Amino acid sequence: MTYNIGYFVGSLSSKSINRTVAKALIGLAPHNLSFKEIPIKDLPLYSPDFDEDYPAEGTALKQAIESSDGLLFIAPEYNRSIPGALKNAIDWGSRPWGTNSFARKPTGLLGASPGAIGTAVMQSNMRSVLSFLDAPQLNSPEVYLQYREEDFGPEGEILNPDTKKFLGHYMEEYTAFVERVLDASAAGHIGDAGV
């Protein structure tokens, strides 16, 4: 069975290192995962004023989330927290109240940074948000990647064999997690998914 994975790149930068990492992850993924980026750059700032008449950008985002079997978030850390554009997209996807598009979607979370802590604080904040949104999360392995230019080619090729092995293992675990959560959800007992 093929699983459709929607992925978010949490940076709007044209030179985003996390976009490079996203390409690398897709290249390492098992063949039964199919990927589609969920874009966030054209969303207006969320306000509850939109809830009664959702704009096309918000509706398209929600549809992209809902049509995905699982979600991946690949994001930098801004000021020890979630990048504003990504948090804005999450707010759009969770509203209007009672129409949370993230509920019961198996999620993976990782990020790269030039710094040694590799987005650990951002991920901690994101885990709190995703828990509130009822989005089951792959808790282990964790990926706090210190990005080194010499480890990646321009199209996401991984030049460091240790990094390639580590990220390949992550994608195998993420795939198994998606299968587990969806199987448990289909059986009506998502609490048994080990999340």
pLDDT of residue 195: 47
Q: pTM score, two decimals?
A: 0.93
Q: Looking at residue 190, what is its pLDDT?
A: 58
- Mean pLDDT (the chain) is 94
Task: Specify if 118 maps to a domain.
Answer: yes
Q: Is residue 46 part of a domain?
A: yes
Q: Which of 51-55, 154-158, 161-165 has the lowest mean pLDDT?
A: 154-158
The answer to whether residue 193 is domain-embedded is: no
Give the C-alpha separation, 38 to 65, whole Å.
8
pLDDT in tens, 126-137: 999 999 999 999
What would the two tokens of residue 118 be? 């590799």
* Of 135, 122, 134, nearest in space to 74 by CA: 122
Within-domain flag for 79: yes
pLDDT over threshold 50, residue 113? yes
Sheet bearing 33-37, strands edge to edge: 33-37, 3-9, 70-74, 107-113, 144-146
How many structural domains comprise the chain? 1
What pLDDT does 156 receive? 85
Quick check: is 138 in a domain?
yes
**By C-alpha distance, which of 41, 22, 24, 135 is closest to 86?**
41
Q: pLDDT tens, 25-38?
A: 999 999 999 999 99
The pLDDT of 103-117, averaged and rounded, is 95
Q: Which residues pair with 110 in a beta bridge?
A: 74
In a domain, residue 195? The reply is no
Q: Residue 148 domain-assigned?
A: yes
Here the CATH number for the domain that contains residue 75 is 3.40.50.360
- pLDDT surpasses 80 at 188: no
Q: Which two tokens stand for residue 34?
A: 């199919």
Nearest to 21 by CA among 110, 126, 97: 110
Burial 25-40, CB ≥16 within 10 A → b, else e = bbebbeeebebeebeb
Asked whether residue 93 is assigned to any structural domain, the reply reads yes
> What is the span of the domain harbouring residue 168?
3-188
